[in-house]
Amino acid sequence: MSSTNPFTEEHELLRQSFRQFVETEIKPNVKYWEENKICEAEVFKKMGAQGFFGVSFPEEYGGSGMDMWAAVAVSEELSQANIGGLAMSLYAHTYLPLPVISALGTEEQKLKYLVPALKGEKIAALGITEPGAGSDVGGIKTIAEDKGDHFLVNGSKMFITNGTMADFIVLAVRTGEGHTLSLLIFDTDTPGFSAVPIHNKLGMHSSDTGQLFFENCKVPKSALLGEKDFGFYYIMSNFQEERLIASITGTAAAEAALEKAKKYAKEREAFGRPIAKFQVIRHKIAKMAISVEACRSLSYRAVAEYIEKGPGAYKIVSIAKAFVCEEAFNVINEALQIHGGWGYMEDFGIARSFRDIRLMTVGAGTTEIMHEIISKIEMDEVRHDKQLLKARV
Report whether 70 contacts 6 (CB < 8 A). Answer: no
- DSSP-derived 3-state class of residue 59: helix
Q: Going along 198-334, which residue ranges are E strands? A: 209-220, 224-225, 269-270, 273-274
The span from the CA of 268 to the CA of 149, in Å, is: 69
**Marked catalytic residue, from 130, 241, 242, 334:** 242
212-238 core/surface letters (b: 16 or more CB in 10 A; e: else)? bbbeebebeeebbbbebebbbbbbbbb
Residue-level length of the chain: 393
Report whether 175 contacts 328 (CB < 8 A). Answer: no
The span from the CA of 358 to the CA of 341, in Å, is: 20
Helix 350-357 crosses helix 314-339 at what angle (to 10 degrees)? 150
Whether 215 is catalytic:
no
The span from the CA of 92 to the CA of 392, in Å, is: 19
Per the DSSP assignment, residues forming a β-bridge with 174 are 143, 181
349-384 core/surface letters (b: 16 or more CB in 10 A; e: else)? bbbbbbbbbbbbbebbbbbebbeebbeebeeeeeeb
Residue from 248, 254, 245, 241 nearest 357 by CA: 254
Q: Which residues contact 163 (CB under 8 A, 6 or more apart)?
A: 125, 127, 157, 169, 195, 197, 198, 208, 209, 210, 211, 212
| Active-site annotation, residues | 242
